[in-house]
Every structure is written in structure tokens, then in C-alpha cells.
Amino acid sequence: MSGLDSKIQGFVHSLEQGGIARWIKIAALLAGIAAIALLYLFVEFKGLGEAAGMDQAQISRNLARGQGFTTNYIRPIAIWQFNKNGRELPRVSVPDTYHAPLNPLVNAIPLKLIQKKWKMSPQQVIYLGDRVIAAVSMLFFLMAVAVNFLTALRLFDYKLAALGTGLMLVCDLFWQYSLSGLPQMLMLFLFSGAVYMVVRAVQASLGGAPVGLWLGGAGVLFGLLALTHPITIMIFLGALLFVVLYFKPRFISGLLMLGFFLLVFSPWLARNFAVCGSPFGVGFYSALDGVQRSEMSWMRQSDPTFRDIRPGTYRGALQTRLLSQFNNLFENLGWSVVAPIFFVGLLHLFKRPDTAAMRWFLFSTWFFAVCGMVFFSGKNSVIAPAQLTVLFIPLMTYFGLAFLLVLWSRLPIDYRVVRIAFLSLVYFLCAIPMILTLLPGNNARIQWPPYVPPFIAILGDWMEPREVIATDMPWAVAWYADRRAVALPQSPADLTRMHDYEVLGGPINGLYLTPVTGNRSLFQDVIKGEYKEWASFILRSPAAPGFHLTAATALPVDNECIIFSDRDRWSRADMTMPDALKEKKPESTEGAGAPEETK
């Protein structure tokens, strides 16, 4: 019996302190992460809600289909750019020159695996493609968490790395970006990898070892980051400044990283120039958002003029963007009570030289990122295609937590229970947005307004492949209906010209209007604003005399969407409400702000 007792005691000891205990803790952590991911993906997820996310998704599907980097979403300003630069616009497979290529390329792989499920059924509420893209984004987030943990291990100790990584996992903003379809989680993974390379280069330099391999790797990852979103070139400039000032020989180190960056990024610039005559494509014009008109209004221009854009007109937009970045800094950092402490921690003298150096790397890259968002990004909301602050939350969390714990250690409190209570309070405060998100009671089933995916998908059955739909939400029509959609031109006359001359290789036999225009302010936007030429259609008045789209029908939900066509295409269509929407019908939000396409 004594032998059996000793074995039992040994087993219990291994459970409490030995190797088995470690694996049990790891299994519990992985189970917790999986549970959170499943809650977001199958309970919180209501389909993609960002225009840029849907736009990149439909490009991914074209890639998976073997059509190359082409788009079903046509911007009138892109047609103008092709013609202005002497390039011929393809009439069927239109090359996309708005988005960077890496995120659509990555998503094309999982979309290819579900090719038989590309067509959305009328009774389907959440499109399978939406869920696949969200799942891939979550995977990149979790990989970024792992990379940041390895970085923190090199800059701090194990306990701080573990605590900081836990704060990343309870940050709701990361999970919300994972559900948006935007490329931020892929960007987070690439930026985290580049930071790790720079950390290894700093530590190699301090140890007298060569740094070329690490700086070259950082250059490659920064190049891939720019291929995910060109605005991240500004982050690379901040990193390049740090490399030039820190490493010796200075300019050789900087040229090494710059060379690898250009080796990765420049072929895409050459492709854009060959296709449309501009290395940055039509996406460059998104920087004009808020300068005289919205970005969507610029994209709808068939013959834009830039003569009236002067430094004075641009200054107001810059001022608005700058104030928004600083006013919303806490929100952009995921409501974390720890991450903003990083800025105070810049005054702290870290004993480790590599840790001390990397705080200035972080500040330099963040500062240049803010400059990029101010000069080249019009939309400053928390979830936005060009919002870069989310990339800095992990490192700022580690540095902020380190400084916070230093201050705590100086207090005359040396009780384990109090210390645990303090850390629990920090976790609770950082997790409040996640708790509120996952609490039951949110009855919305879809992203309404303005998206009703099954009744957008039905347009694909009504329109022939060569026909084109003009609409105020071309990104959603291109994704859910899988039909070519042109952004609502400036006027019905422009639409008629595109139709008569078949500029896009086929007739424009559909006009689809939604709450994107219907929920706008009546006088400021519709009667006197950028949609004034379409006021009669938006207000559901009789069509203008001579207009070729004479038939019309309203669509669910609440008849707030309408389709105009050249003939009745819907009399025999099944437009019954999906069962999941019948149970708890989403309520219309009167006056809700309509989403705008942004870069």
C-alpha cells in the first residue's frame, strides 16, 4: 500500500506543480480561447458590415475563380483614370486598382474550398463566405497573439508577457475587427512579425552579432504589410528612421531594410502603372475624403476636376482628422486602461537597453502612422479600413503594463491577495467592452440597416451575367449577388450614357437603391447634396421621362430597398422572409447613418 500511496501522491504533486499541471493550464487556456472565438463567430457575428471588407471579399472570389485580380465593383472615376492615361478599360474582367492585393489573395484560398457554396440561398441569413472570411481573420489574430508573446518574452519576463497577452485576448476591438472582413488582423500579424525581427536585430547588435538577416526579414514583412494596405508605408518610414538612427553603419542598415521592402512592394506599383497608368491606382483618391465632398462622391465622378483643391481647402480636412485621432485615442486603443500608459512610460528608464530602445521604435512607428491616417485617410471611426492604431495595442499594452507594475511595486503593499485583486481589476476594466458585447439581449440577426444579404443575393438571379446594376451599395451587390455593379453615377444622364454605349461591356439594366441613400438627411444630402440628381428615385417618385428603367418593385426589409429595371424580372421570384428573420424582425433605425465606402 505504501508504494501505491507514494504513486498517488506523486501524481497529485505532478497535477499541482509538475509537467501535467502545465499542460492542464495550457489546455484550459486554449479551451477558453476557442470558446470566445466560437461565441463571436456563431453568436455575435451578423455578417460582414464593412464596405471595404465585402469589396475585398468579392475580389478574392474572382481570384479563386481564376479571373485574376479583377473586380465586380466598378467606380466611375476608375473608368476616367483608364481613359485619361491612355489605357483601355476591359469590358468584362475589370482589373481592380483600388485595393492592395495581399488580403484578397489570402482569402481566395479558403473561398476556393467552399466553391460549391458560393451561391447564397434565399432562406440563408448569414452567408457562408462571410463566416469563412471572419474565421480566417480570427486565425491571423491568434497567430499575432503568439508572435507578440514571443516578442514580450524577449523584452520582459515570462509573467509580464503572459499577463499582457491575456489582456490582448480580452480586448473586444481585436475580435470586432476579425468579424469586419477588413485586413487589420492580417496587418497585425505582419506588423508583429516585423517588430519581432527588429527586436532580434537590436539584441544581436547589443551582442556584437550581425544584424543583416534580421533587418532584411523586417524589410520583407514591412513590404508584405504595404501589400495589405499602402498607408502602412508610413509605419515603415517610422521604422526606417529608427534603424538609421540606432544601427551602425547607419545608412547601410537603412538601405538594407529599404532594399528588401522595395523588392517586395515595387512589383505591385509596376502592375498598377501598366494597368491604369498610375502606380497607386484609383485608391489614391480616397485621401480626398472630406475635401469638398465625400470619398464616395469622388468615386462616382465620371469627369472629376481637381482645380479647386488648394492647401486651404485641404487644411480643414486635415484639422478634422487630426482632432479625431487624438480625441478618440482611448477608444482606438480598444478602451484599454493599460495601453495609453505607454506614453507616460516613455519617461521611465528601463534597465534593459533593448527594452529601452524598442519603446522609441514603437513611438516612432506610431507617430508616422498617425501622420499617415491624418494625410491619407478620411474615415476616422474606430473600425475603418485605414485605422492603424489597433496595430500598436499589443506592444503599448506590454510597455504600459510594465510601467504600471513598477509603480505598484513601489507601494507599501506586499499582500498576494491584494496583488491578485489589483490585476483582476485591470483585467475586468479592459474586458468590459467584451462583456457588454457577449451579454445576451442583442436581437439583431443581420447588419440592418442597410444590408439584407438574401435579398441582395436574389439580384443575381434576376440579372444576366453581362448586365450591370447601378447601385448605392455596389460592394454588397458585387459580393452577395455576384454581379457587376457600378457605383451610382453622378446623374441619370451618366448612367444612360454608360448603358447606351455599353462602356462596361453590357447594358445597365438595374438600379438598386437602399438605406445607404434612403436614410440620408433629406435636404443636405438628397435635395441639395451629392445625390440631388437622383432625388426623384430616392424619394420613390415616378421615373424621369425617357429613362429606360421603367419597372420597379420594393424589397424587404420594411420595403426600404427598391429595384428599378427595364422589365418585370421578379413576379415569379420567391421573396418570402427567411424563417430566422421572421421570428425577430430587425427594426428599422430611422435616420441611421449610412455606411460610406472608404479605403
pLDDT per residue over 103-153, tens digit each?
Answer: 999 999 999 999 999 998 877 889 999 999 999 999 999 999 999 999 999
Which range of residues forms the domain containing residue 9?
Answer: 2-44
Q: Which residue did the predictor score with more confidence, 221 or 415? A: 221
Number of H helices, E strands in the chain: 26, 8
Rounded mean pLDDT of 312-339?
89
Please tell me whether residues 216 and 93 are part of one structural domain. Answer: no
Contact 375, 320 (CB under 8 A): no
What is the C-alpha separation between 552 and 567, in angstroms, rounded? 8
Please tell me whether residues 66 and 195 are part of one structural domain. Answer: no
Please tell me whether residues 474 and 392 are part of one structural domain. Answer: no
Please tell me whether residues 423 and 460 are part of one structural domain. Answer: no
For the ranges 479-493, 512-526, 563-577, the lowest mean pLDDT is seen at 563-577
pLDDT for position 56: 97
What is the C-alpha separation between 164 and 170, in angstroms, rounded? 10
Residue 63 domain flag: yes
Give the DSSP letter of residue 265. H
Percent over 70 (pLDDT), the chain: 91
pLDDT for position 574: 67
pLDDT for position 78: 95
pLDDT for position 589: 40
Task: Quickly state the pLDDT bin for 583 (edges 50, 70, 90).
Answer: low
Rounded mean pLDDT of 313-317?
80
Position 385 pLDDT exceeds 50? yes
Among residues 182, 186, 165, 185, the alpha carbon closest in space to that of 174 is found at: 185
pLDDT for position 579: 64
Of 419, 438, 457, the residue at which a domain comes to its end is: 438
Contact 478, 73 (CB under 8 A): yes
Please tell me whether residues 529 and 431 are part of one structural domain. Answer: no
Residue 525 domain flag: yes
Instruction: Please provide residue 290's backbone torsions phi and psi, each rounded to the nearest 5 degrees.
Output: 90, -5
pLDDT for position 591: 39
Residue 134 domain flag: no
Please tell me whether residues 276 and 366 are part of one structural domain. Answer: yes
The listed range with the strongest mean pLDDT (82-91, 355-364, 540-549) is 355-364
Task: Quickly state the pLDDT bin for 2 (edges 50, 70, 90).
Answer: low
Residue 313 domain flag: no
pLDDT for position 363: 97
Position 40 pLDDT exceeds 70? yes
Residue showing cell 508572435: 147
**Cell for 542?**
415616378
Residue 138 domain flag: no
Please tell me whether residues 421 and 467 are part of one structural domain. Answer: no
Over residues 214-242, the pLDDT tens digits come to: 999 999 999 999 999 999 999 999 999 99
Position 14 pLDDT exceeds 60? no
Count of structural domains within the chain: 3
Query: What DSSP element (H or E) covers 366?
Result: helix 353-376
Task: Quickly state the pLDDT bin for 260 (edges 50, 70, 90).
Answer: very high
Calculate the CA dihedral of residues 264, 270, 271, 274 and round it to 10 degrees.
-170
What is the C-alpha separation between 240 and 245, in angstroms, rounded? 9
What is the C-alpha separation between 135 and 267, in angstroms, rounded? 29
What is the C-alpha separation between 391 and 185, in angstroms, rounded? 8
Please tell me whether residues 108 and 16 are part of one structural domain. Answer: no
pLDDT for position 559: 81
pLDDT for position 5: 57
Over residues 47-82, the pLDDT tens digits come to: 999 999 999 999 999 999 999 999 999 999 999 999
Residue 61 domain flag: yes
**Cell for 466?**
453581362
Rounded mean pLDDT of 205-211?
94
Please tell me whether residues 117 and 195 are part of one structural domain. Answer: no
Query: What DSSP element (H or E) covers 95?
Result: strand 94-95
Please tell me whether residues 200 and 244 are part of one structural domain. Answer: yes
Residue 103 domain flag: yes
Q: Which residue did the predictor score with more confidence, 541 or 589? A: 541
Please tell me whether residues 104 and 156 are part of one structural domain. Answer: no
Rounded mean pLDDT of 358-367?
97
Secondary structure (DSSP) of 466-486: T-EEEES-HHHIIIII-S-EE
**Which pTM was predicted?**
0.92
pLDDT for position 588: 43
**Cell for 586?**
430587425
What is the C-alpha separation between 390 and 370, in angstroms, rounded? 12
- Listed in sequence order, the DSSP H helices in 17-75 are 19-39, 51-65
Residue 304 domain flag: no
Among residues 73, 70, 148, 133, the alpha carbon closest in space to that of 103 is found at: 133
Percent over 90 (pLDDT), the chain: 65
pLDDT for position 599: 38
| Angle, in degrees to the nearest 10, between helices 128-155 and 19-39 | 140
Of 375, 405, 438, the residue at which a domain comes to its end is: 438
Position 598 pLDDT exceeds 60? no
Please tell me whether residues 536 and 500 are part of one structural domain. Answer: yes
